[in-house]
Amino acid sequence: MTGGGSDPGPGEDVVDARGKRCPIPVIDLARHAAEHPTAHRVLVLATDPAAAHDIPAWCRMRGHHFVEQRPSRDHTVYVVELIEQNEQVTT
């Protein structure tokens, strides 16, 4: 993946949602998180301006950490740290 800030580093996955409209970028991110439970950091590439609100909101609702957003050529890169969810329920 090339293009000013879109290159994944070690331990980073990429969800390419460029050209997709709301709510698809968040749906793609949620699907990636569910399908890759060991993923730590995800770069979401998106062109839809609504992603600037939707991705941080999804992180808050799901207990993940929204790191930053940064412009890159024809899209924006949203950096998300996936926090392992403890699914054990204590009584």
Question: For the segment 5-16, what is each residue's pLDDT rounded down to a tens digit?
Answer: 567 777 799 999
Sign of CA dihedral 20, 22, 28, 29: positive
Q: Is 22 one of the catalytic residues?
A: yes
Q: Are 45 and 18 in contact (CB under 8 A)?
A: yes
Which listed residue (12, 14, 22, 30) is catalytic? 22
Q: Residue 69 corresponds to which tokens in the numbers above?
A: 């957003």
d(CA 62, CA 57): 9
Contact 78, 50 (CB under 8 A): no
24-77: pLDDT as tens digits: 999 999 999 999 988 899 999 999 999 999 999 999 999 999 999 999 999 999
